[in-house]
Amino acid sequence: MRVLDSHLHLWDPSRLDYEWLDGPLAQRYAAEELARASVDGAERAAAIFVQAECVEAQFIDEARWVADNAARTGVIGIVAGARLDRGAQTTAHLTALTGIDAVVGVRHNLQDEPDGTARSDAFRAGAAALAAHGYRFDACVRAHQLSDVADLAAWVPALPIALDHLGKPAIGTAADPLPPAVAWLGDLRDLAAHPQVSVKLSGLPAEAGGSWSPQQVTPFLDAAAEAFGADRLLWGGDWPVSALTGAPPEYRTESRDLWARTVADWAGARGLDADAIFWDNAARFYGVE
């Protein structure tokens, strides 16, 4: 099976500044560390890098650093950091990104923004400019913000959107699992009604605080498949964020492979095309080979 990880982070605090890192994540996760966290049995392995929320002034530097290390990390596409609500500054930023190899999209991280940010005129204008550049948009939101993404998809139908981490639903823990919330299910279906939107099967281990089980996440994977269909599901490892486990949390190299095997086993049990979920869908969405 080929594995195109649609959601990979890399960072090096000695090179760039990240104000949010703490605990086991507050160290370098780059080529050498990634090599020790490979997915077992992959015939070919590649990845889409997703911006790791360095400080805003370094968004361009981050994209250049990842491009410079692409051959060592298997990165074939870069989702760079960007603010889409800055008018002329956004336009200049997107233009600067066109000079960096492998940039295929951007992420304006919305999860900690005020609700409704993606509905503002400034954000919609930036999203339209993004579509005009032929780029994609990664939407990282919390469950209650899913309707904002659906609104954006309606306003800018030419913009391909990938929903990160299934919209970060509440899933509980392995010991105390939660079923999919009715509101999340409804909002997910509404978002999936927009054909340019895909969803990443990623991030659920992090939402469980590193305490999860295959049985716990199965209803959420089922909901995503029912809403989006098999051709809009993208596997993502969310490495290294989703590689923490235990209390207190510690980094485990095998966590990425465990998540891949969990999704592959689920796909097999549901009769879904694992090659599509693990490669073809992401390759088509991001326009990479």
Q: What is the mean pLDDT of the chain?
A: 97
Is the confidence at residue 176, as pLDDT, over 90? yes
- Name residue 227's amino acid: A
Domain with 237 in it:
2-286
| Residues 80 and 101: beta-carbon distance below 8 Å | no
pLDDT digits (tens, 9 = 90+) for 129-142: 999 999 999 999 99
Q: What pLDDT was estimated at residue 241? A: 98
- What gap in Å lies between CA 237 and CA 243, rounded to an integer? 9
As to burial, measured by CB atoms within 10 angstroms (0-12 exposed, 13-18 middle, 19+ buried), residue 32 is exposed
pLDDT digits (tens, 9 = 90+) for 102-131: 999 999 999 999 999 999 999 999 999 999
Quote the pTM value: 0.98
Pick from 190, 188, 211: nearest CA to 201: 188
| Six token digits for residue 231 | 């051709």
Please compute the mean of the pLDDT values over residues 208-216 and round it to a whole number.
Answer: 96
Task: Give the pLDDT band (50/70/90) at residue 92.
Answer: very high
Q: What residues pair up with 234 in beta bridges, in sequence order?
A: 200
Q: What pLDDT was estimated at residue 152? A: 98
Q: What pLDDT was estimated at residue 41? A: 92
Q: What pLDDT was estimated at residue 182? A: 98
Q: How many folded domains does the chain comprise?
A: 1
Q: What pLDDT was estimated at residue 108? A: 98
- Name residue 75's amino acid: V
Task: Give the pLDDT band (50/70/90) at residue 270.
Answer: very high
The percentage of the chain sitting over the pLDDT mark of 90, rounded to a whole number, equals 98
Q: What pLDDT was estimated at residue 246? A: 87
Task: Give the pLDDT band (50/70/90) at residue 289.
Answer: confident
Is the confidence at residue 266, as pLDDT, over 90? yes
Residues in CB range of 71: below 8 A, 6 or more apart: none
**Looking at residue 77, which CATH number applies to its domain?**
3.20.20.140
pLDDT digits (tens, 9 = 90+) for 230-241: 999 999 999 999
